[in-house]
Every structure is written in C-alpha cells, then in structure tokens.
A and B are shown apart, each in its own frame.
Chain A
Amino acid sequence: MSDSDDKNVRVAEALREAFAPLVEQLTPEVEPATVFTPSLEDNKDE
C-alpha cells in the first residue's frame, strides 16, 4: 500500500469513527431523508 493509500484509509477511518456515535440516536422509525423536496422545475422540464 502506498503512503497515499495509507493516508486515505486513515482519513476515511477517522470520518467513520466520528460518525459512528451519531447512529446511536437513531430509532427504528427514523427513515432516510432521500430526495426530500421534489423539484418543481424538474417536474416541469422532464
């Protein structure tokens, strides 16, 4: 693994570690906010 690959693994791991505790606040009924505001313009144009 190159130094650069190694750095990317470390940066990604740090982000995932920072994110992990946030998941604890999720209860089963919380759904993903996907595309939460449909675009009026997209509807018109497409």
Chain B
Amino acid sequence: MTIRELGTLLRNRKISCVELIEQTIAGIKARTESHWFITVTEDQARAEAAERDREFAAGRDRGPFHGIPIALKDLFYTRGIATTAGSLVFRDFVPEYDAPVVERLRAAGAVSVGKTNLHEIALGITSKNPHYGAVVNPLDPNRLPGGSSGGSGAVVAAGLVPMALGSDTGGSIRIPASYCGIAGLKPTYGRVSRRGVLPLAFSLDHVGPLASCVEDCTLTMDVIGGGDFELPQRTEFTGVRVGVPKNFFFERVDPEVARAVENVISEMQRRKATLCEVRVPDLNEANTAAKIVQYSEVAALYVRHTNPALFGRDVWDLIQQGKMIAGHEYVNAQRIRTLFRRDFDALWKSIDVLVTPTTPVTAPEIDKDSIRIGGEEENTRMASTRLVRAINFLGEPALSIPCGKDSSGMPVSVQLIGPPFSEPKLLQIGKTVETFLSA
C-alpha cells in the first residue's frame, strides 16, 4: 500500500498506528531468512506508534507520514542503535545522534521499524552481504535484488513498508528499484543532507527514497528535501521536451527492456510530449572518470583498514584497486567532470527530461557473475551500473519507475533524468507516466 492509502486507513480508524506497526513487525519476522534487515527496532517502533496514536486521539496530525512504517538503510546514523554499513568495521558503531534525514522523518510522524541490509559498505550491486546474509529479491529468490540499497528495495517490494531510505553513489537506489520493481529517486547532488550518513565516496553520494510509487517519493522529498516537491497532477505532456538518446543508452540493452522503454516514449508522444532526438556526451568516458573518482574516494576512506579478514573479497579488492590510482588522476577525473557538467548544462537548454532504461537487463540470476546481452558477456556489476553511474558523476536528479515486465515476469524500469534541482518537475512527469502505465 502507498503512504496515502495507509494514511487513509489510519485516519478513518480502520487500523491504529500500533496495529499497523505490529503487522509490519510480524511480516518482518516471517521473512528473517530473506536477510532484509540487519537490526529490527521493534520496541522503539511500538513506543513511537503508541505516541502517534495518542496524538491522533488528541487531534494532532503530523501529516502524510503520521504513523507510517518506514525503514532505513543501515548506514543512516540512528541514535543509540547500531549502524553497521553492512560491514564488520562498523559492527559495534552506535551513533550518538540521528542523521538529520532520520530526524526529519520522525518529526513528520514516520515510524522506523529498522535498519536494512545492504551490499557491504554500499560498494556493490548484489547485496550478497558476507557478514549479514544475502538479501533475497521478494519477486524471485533466484534473482538479485540489486544494490547497494538491496534491503531497502526488497522491503518496499515485499509491501512491508511504503518507503525505505537508501543512498546512491553509482546507482545504488535506482538499481534495486529496477530489479525489485519499485520507484526510486536519486535527487540532485547536495539537495538532501548527507550529514550522519556513512560515506562511500564523498563527491558522488546521494540520499533518496525507494518507494512503492512516485507519489511516495514526492512525499519523502517534501520531508527530507526541505520544500514542496508536489506539482499539480497532469494527464498530458504538453510543453514537455522529451530527450530521446540516439547513442549510449540503448546500446547493449536487452531487447525486451528497450521495447518497454520505447513504449513509454511513444506513449508520452501520444500524450503531446515533444520528442527531441539527442546525442549525449560519451558516457562511457564519464563512467571511466567516475570510477577513478569513486575508487579513489573509497580508498581514502578505508586506507587505514589493513585487515582483509574484515572485508568481503569483492570489497577488499576494490579498495586495493583504488589505492593504486594516483593523485593527479583523481584531480584530472574531477576536471573531466567539469567538462561533462558543461556539456549537460548545454543539453538541458534543448530538453526537459531524458528518458532511458534504468538497467540494461532485468534482475540477473544470483549465481552468475556475468550476463549475456546481444551475444556479448558483460560483468554483472558493470552492466548494472552502466546506465546510472554517470548520473552520479553529473549530479543530476534521476527517477526510476517500473514500466513493464519481461517474458519471465521480472520488472523493467525507465529512468527519467532531469536538470539539477528539477525534482518537482521530474516527479510530476514520473507520476503522469506511472498513471498512464497503470491505466
């Protein structure tokens, strides 16, 4: 159910906040083998839900999130509650304060039920965590849930909570949103506070929602983004210039994924959008430079941790690789970033939104390190991040929405990318797309 649907039940006294939280906790306990949570904060959740009930009874309504269960990726600081980042390094780390985004959600009435599992230190896309268990995709246990915010994606897709917070450094919100068939928003870099969020790569980290629908992303942004993100609902796209990429985004993409996204573009045109074919800058180059930046920043953070036994093999290897990048290469990658920013600033003069697939494939099988697209093998991590990583490098907001299913029934997702700080318009377009797709 969505935040508004749950809110209606609460306000009509069909269910109390405490009953809703009890149902949620029972749902979590019934699926402990899915490794969706690292810590379940049931006592705190019950106490907060009881307080929200007392407030309702006294006529106080905090707004859409009042009494709504949510979950937090286990890298958001929570006062007095372990915050592990899915790592042994932080196994015993108990923050002394709540991250401002957590504080804001609580003040808005949301009730966190716990801290979700993730790919170790948020560095990877499988969410097969060697220390806290492999996150199971609720749609198909033989498929990856995506990552690094895999637990957050799974708990929303399973219907346990309508929204879970995630973070995105190279696609870590949008990839699990795509593989689990839910909505996910990576806001503009700097739009949402990163204070009290264990970093992975300082200049690429973004905080945002994974949610049951676009409206739930909007409601979350109203709280954590500090503003009004909701524009009036539209049924058509009159005046909207839709960028259709001629290069990069539809190359090496599964035909079923491409067809579903092309269908979205056609439907937008049918609803009066102006289609503009565009050639985007070489995002293979942006991805290369983004990796130089990311691996260097990760290595800087973890350079003092020299015991490989504390890390999974894949994460340890990436940290070691990051240490081999020279200082001049890092600085020049950040200079390359300036050029890409200029190119995209120019692109936004001719279009309002760029429409692309989120991932080139649907959720890959869990036991395969590579996937086959168009007769070519590609490493699963590289393929999963290929269409999303550069957007972190640019800092633009990007929204992922389910837009169909492949022949095996797994969700396909479309990515809507907009200019910096265009989230209200992006969410408005996304909601209209979501509405016509569900009609």
Interface residues, chain A, with chain B CB atoms under 8 Å away? 4-5, 7-9, 11-13, 15-16, 18-19, 22-23, 25-26, 30-42, 44-46
Contact = CB atoms under 8 A, between A and B. Distances in A.
B337 A32 contact: yes
Interface residues of B, number: 42
B203 interface: yes
Interface stretch (B83-91, B320-328, B428-436): B320-328
28 contacts: A4-B313, A8-B317, A8-B321, A9-B324, A11-B317, A11-B321, A12-B324, A19-B329, A22-B332, A25-B336, A26-B336, A32-B335, A32-B337, A32-B338, A33-B334, A35-B190, A37-B395, A39-B190, A39-B194, A40-B190, A40-B191, A40-B226, A41-B192, A42-B190, A42-B193, A42-B195, A45-B195, A46-B195
Given A23-B332, A26-B336, A45 B292 contact: no
Contacts of B420: 37
Nearest to B196: A45
B331 interface: yes
Ranked nearest first, the 5 interchain pairs of A and B with the lowest CB-CB distance are: A32-B334, A41-B193, A37-B190, A12-B324, A39-B190
Contacts of A13: 324
Contacts of A7: 317
A15 B292 contact: yes
B189 interface: yes
Interface stretch (B143-151, B211-219, B283-291): B283-291
A35 B203 CA distance: 6
A35 B295 CA distance: 17
B100 interface: yes
Interface string B162-195: 0000000000000000000000000011111111
B325 A12 contact: yes
Contacts, number: 105
B62 interface: no
A15 B335 contact: no
Interface on chain A toward B: helix, strand, loop, or mixed SS? helix
Contacts of B202: 35
A25 B325 contact: no
B341 interface: yes
B339 interface: yes
B335 A41 contact: no
A26 B325 CA distance: 19
B354 interface: no
Contacts of B122: none
A26 B292 contact: no
B285 A22 contact: yes
**Which among A4, A38, A39 has the greatest number of chain B C-beta atoms within 10 A?**
A39
B70 interface: no
**Which among A7, A22, A46 has the greatest number of chain B C-beta atoms within 10 A?**
A22
B403 interface: no
A40 B194 CA distance: 11
Nearest to A45: B100
Nearest to A13: B324
